[in-house]
Structure 1
Amino acid sequence: MALTDTFVRQVKATGKALGDKYADGGGMYLLVKAPGKYWRLDYRFHGKRKTLALGVYPAVTLAKARQRRDKAREQLADGIDPGIAQREEKRAKVDAAANTFEAVSREWLAKTSGKRAAITQAKVTSWLEKDVLPFIGKLPIASIKAKDVLDKVARRMEARGIHESAHRIVQICSQVFRYAVAVGVIERDVTTDLRGALVAVKKANYAAITEPKQAGQLMRSIYAYAGHPCAVAGLKLSPLVFVRPGELRAAEWAEMDLDAAEWRIPATKMKMKVEHLVPLSRQAVDILRTLQPFTGHGRYVFPSIRTGERCMSENTINAALRGMGYAKDVMTAHGFRAMARTIMDEVLEERTDLIEHQLAHMVKDPNGRAYNRTAHLPARRAMMQRWADYLDKLRIGAEVIPLRKSKK
């Protein structure tokens, strides 16, 4: 006779050591003991008698217990041991709880840290902690759908108007998912389903001044700028070395050899992961020697104003340019590279390959092989000095060579 909800609710333990069993049919029964009421299913698999726990009443109702019984009997019909299936399911749930998006992302950060510059590692970590983990970090990574990433991460950023950053964050999430695939936690990267779902971002070049007369005015503004010594030195050095802004602000005194007038940037900090050598002009060395008494006791050439344990903020140079009256669509910190590239090529007619070397771009020899980091160093050193001298001439208003439309 099948059990009823009323009977299950009212039945009491009789005190038997092994408890009392009340059958419901199909091998399922209610085991009643002093501590509580337990659903059980007796079954045979390959001739061996086994018992499966279906749950504890009242957390598992009579109806729910019957559903679990029916599922177990279907598994038996398919040649599956429901006891083993139940253990595997529980193990999967435990694994899912351990493999949250946050746990996997932090493991990915640690495992791949050697592939990124320290400054990039810090930036990626910050992006995850600010824009991703608070929203999907606690979810098992295997349960996350493309819509979760879109609605809980990307759309939030788009609502703030930071469309380019939304694309970048989704790319980072994709790398975490691909890592999870590689280590066997999930089957696929769900962010591939987001192609075309995000607001499109128009690609734009960094704003830069590339006309000599305007460059001269910019240099006069830089030398008239009255700010923090680090910002002043960073501004003055930017056009002389024209490295990427992140490479400049992360510069360390250990990388500088002022006597040899060289700055060796380690491969870990470079975009192309190749050590970069920057010949320092006399003007650049003077700027660094002037700054050395202020920051030479620490690690960074341009330390953070708040703490010497970090380098200068990525906004410092751009903020200084804005303070000098240069809007973001006129000049940017990254724009010093374009300024040097354009004027050195089209006005001073420096060798293009030397300029590209100094921009840390990949340059190949006639046989198609990449030049090593010291290629043409004497010529590059002379070019950097000519460039610094030319900027001085522009700054003091000396003869300005008009911008040519084409090279001879």
Structure 2
Amino acid sequence: MNKKNLFYWSLYDFANSFVFINFLLYFSQWLVIDGGLSDFWYNAIFAISSVILLFSGPTLASFTDKFGGRKHFLKFSTFGTILGYGFATLLAYLNQPMIFIAICFLIGQYFYQLSFIFHNPMIEDVADINHRARASGICQFSNSLGQLMGLVLSLFFSKNRLASLLPSIIIFFLLSLPILIYFKEQQIRQAKLSIQSFSNGSKEFFRKLVIFFSVSVAVPVLVAFFFFNDALLTASNNYSIYMERVFSIPDMTKNIILMTILIMSALGGLTFGKIADRIGALKSIKIILITWIVLFPGLGLVKTIPGLIICSTMLGFTMGGMVAVVRAYLSQKLKKEEFGYGFSFYTLFERFSTFFGPLTWGGSIAIFGTSATSYRITMIFMTVYIVIGFLVIQFWKIKQRSTNLQTEQTSSMI
């Protein structure tokens, strides 16, 4: 295990968590509650950015598999995140039209997602295959710790929901510099990406997609991850709004609940990282899914704030574990020639690659209204996607076969 690279890699996940948690908790409420953006269009921002990422992320990942340069593209996506989120915040402060604020937020959201297309595969330069579950757990611990510190930061800027956003962006920029400068890659950048090479790679998108999803043993977990993570992230994106609408919880109490969730998420990442090394990553994934099938209905049915805290704490512990274990599983199963390409789909599904969930959530609220009962029903309905994910893992198996994906990548980029 390369301890320096592990530190830089984990520090980046710590850094981006500041903007993640503050925009998720406070900017979401400002858009929907203060700014008047509908639940549907708020969730549509995540769906639209996911579609854009779907048609660009895998192509860029294929390019880095062949020609290297993951750190170079990480720099590009990091600065795109800072500019998009930064302008969205400034325009909100200046009370500019909501359409411009939403567009800037969408741009920042896209580049935020894109950064992990290149960050996650860097685990290849962090740890050998036998220690990746532990390295992934440490990184997830850093991610949750960063979100916790982001909430602590917000306590010093609690006068309004926009106050903590610019400080979080500045912290993200400063703490992202070490990986952008000092991280050591085994595969040095060998070629520059041109418009023609990107266009050629995009044209081969569907052919490469069919090849990968036909032969890679990692595909069942990726597909399952799409469904259960769709439900998980949709609930996370709307969680502060859910607590507001259902329990009328003040911002300070929300912070305490979210801090508890994040502490447990950090511990869950470390714990399940070690467990997965002993009993296997796939078995660990199934255990967590069964737990979620019970917890999501519990979140929808619980009537008291203490009950909400108990369910939320258990969910946080397993959330941290799931991120660590799935990332480790894929890093063990993906072949070198498909490493970045395969991880691009993990990134799509891990970070706001939500589609069905947000549309279901937004559509449900649009149909049934904004009453507490409507939000409870919508939360319970998210369990359907978790069950689908469990069934996919349980019954869909792909045997190890050779693949021509590397040849396809090379020809499409020339």
Tell me the TM-score range normalised by the shorter chain: under 0.3
Larger relative strand fraction: 1
Superposition TM-score, scaled by structure 1 size? 0.23
Q: Which has the higher helix share?
A: 2
Higher relative contact order (CA 8 A, sep 6+): 2
> Radius of gyration: which is bigger?
1
